[in-house]
Amino acid sequence: MIFHQLQHELDERATQGLLRQRRTLDSPQSPHIVVDGKPYLAFCSNDYLGLASHPQLIAALQQGAQAWGVGAGAAHLVSGHFEPHRQLEMQLAAFVGKPAALLFSTGYMANLGVVQALVGKGDAVFADKLNHSSLNDAMLLARAEVRRYRHGDMQQLAQMLERTQSGRKLIITDAVFSMDGDLAPLPDLLALCERHDAWLLLDDAHGFGVLGAQGRGSLAQYGIDSARIVLMGTLGKAAGVSGAFIAAEQVVIDTLVNHARSYVYTTATPPALSAALLQSLQLIEQGDALREHLQGLVAQLRKGLGGLPWLLMPSDTAIQPLLIGDNQRALGLSEGLRDRGIWVAAIRPPTVPQGTARLRITLSAAHTADDVERLIGALHELAC
């Protein structure tokens, strides 16, 4: 009986155009992939600088495995904290301009850990309504009072902060919103933190490595910094490898080492990954030409998709969402592109709000102008 109920729920999702399914890559991550045995031009990876298959990172990972083995064997606080971990934390902190940094296995675990460690009962969390699910789950697990403000609405956020008179206050937000591609108003958020004695947790998963001078992220893009800011960056997107980090004041990092459950109670990442990421940081820092090329592709795509019946949402980042609205229509367009050998994911609720299903086009510095032109032509064909 219980299995019949599960199947019925899955069938209902399928009817609504919401059923999720996996596809298997038979090739390394790149703009040109093989999925379930068929070749595709892909526009759905977060490998923004094209580093996931970079030969220097492959070599660094191989050398790291040779030197340090393939597993950490224990949590960081037991016997799983290796010299490459320590070096990477130091270099990440310096790269983003913070006193200290702490590695996590994933961005999801980093967000869970930092929110739960910094606030709890009697405190308040203020969250943008379009935040990533990991931030939403983190604030619920923290058991603090949750207050969500309309996307980017600083006036509403200010009113919420003014009404909060006791406890710690933590504002949490994506720096680059993963489904819309727009940037949070970081200077305004920081000003509110200063006025109301609050922390600001920035999830810079889609800004780190891509935005700002030398790819140092969203804080560098805006030219701001503050001891109040706690920065989360992921290492499996622009950095091309895996993992995440929190960068903040030393007292915050020490607090996480002692209280972030998703750090304390999990096995450390393999030290070989940190060896590869040390090489990745060098490539990011030297990657201005890659970022310039990426911005050129963004401009090419936005110009080329003008006049379509679907709205290309405002974004200057590598995330270029094409708003379709209807779930089935978004799936149909994705399938139409797939028939033409192009892979673009259809994003539907609950990942995005009801009625805002979209194609989430993501560009990489590994794409060529011809790749983008092919996508533009296919979408114009499908619009006819």
Where, residue-wise, is CATH 3.90.1150.10 in the chain? 18-49+288-383
Helix (H) or strand (E) holding 39: strand 38-42
pLDDT band at 200 (very low <50, low <70, confident <90, very high): very high
Please identify every residue annotated as catalytic.
Answer: 178, 206, 237
What mean pLDDT do residues 185-210 have?
A: 98
pLDDT value for 171: 98
Residue 210, helix vs strand vs coil: coil
pLDDT at residue 1 is higher than 80: no
Residue among 19, 22, 14, 36 nearest 341 (CA): 36
Instruction: Give 166: exposed, middle or buried? Use CB within 10 Å, 0-12, 13-18, 19+.
Output: exposed
**pLDDT of 8 above 80:** yes
* 3-class SS of residue 38: strand
More confident residue, 339 or 15: 339
pLDDT value at residue 21: 83
Mean pLDDT score of the chain = 96
| 380 annotated binding-site participant | no
Q: Could you report the per-residue pLDDT of 119-128, keeping only the tens digit for each?
A: 999 999 999 9
The backbone torsions φ and ψ at residue 102, rounded to the nearest 5 degrees and listed phi first, read: -140, 130
Query: Per-residue pLDDT averaged across 242-261, rounded?
Result: 98
What is the torsional sign of CA 263, 264, 270, 275? Answer: positive
Tokens of 324: 């379709």
Q: How confident is the model at residue 384 (pLDDT cuts 50, 70, 90)?
A: confident
CA neighbor of 171 nearest in space, from 152, 150, 185, 189: 189
Long-range contacts of residues 87-91, Cβ cutoff 8 Å, at least 24 apart: 87/274, 87/278, 88/274, 88/277, 88/278, 88/281, 89/245, 91/278, 91/281
Instruction: Give the pLDDT confidence of 297-349 residue by residue, as tens digits.
Output: 999 999 999 989 999 999 999 999 999 999 999 999 999 999 999 999 999 99
- CB-based contact 237:203 (threshold 8 Å): no
178 is in an annotated binding site: yes
37 vs 238, residue with greater confidence: 238
Does position 134 have pLDDT exceeding 90, yes or no?
Answer: yes
Residue range(s) in the chain whose domain bears CATH number 3.40.640.10: 55-285
Enumerate the β-bridge partners of residue 148: 127
* Overall fold of domain 55-285: Aspartate Aminotransferase; domain 2 (3.40.640)
Q: Is 132 annotated as a binding residue?
A: yes
Q: What is the pLDDT of residue 107?
A: 97
Q: Is the pTM of this model over 0.85?
A: yes
52 pLDDT more than 80: yes
Q: Which phi and psi (to 5°) does residue 77 adopt?
A: -85, -5
107 labelled binding-site residue = yes
CA nearest neighbour of 20 among 334, 366, 363, 301: 334
The answer on whether 173 is annotated among ligand-binding residues is no
- Domain 18-49+288-383: homologous superfamily in CATH: Aspartate Aminotransferase, domain 1 (3.90.1150.10)
Q: According to the annotation, is 206 in a ligand binding site?
A: yes
Lowest mean pLDDT: which of 12-21, 248-257, 288-297? 12-21
Residue 178 gets the label, from left (phi > 0), alpha (psi -120 to 50) or beta, of alpha
Q: Amino acid letter at 154? A: M
d(C-alpha 31, C-alpha 137), whole Å = 32
Q: Is 108 annotated as a binding residue?
A: yes
> Measured between alpha carbons, how far is 271 from 333 in angstroms, rounded to an integer?
42
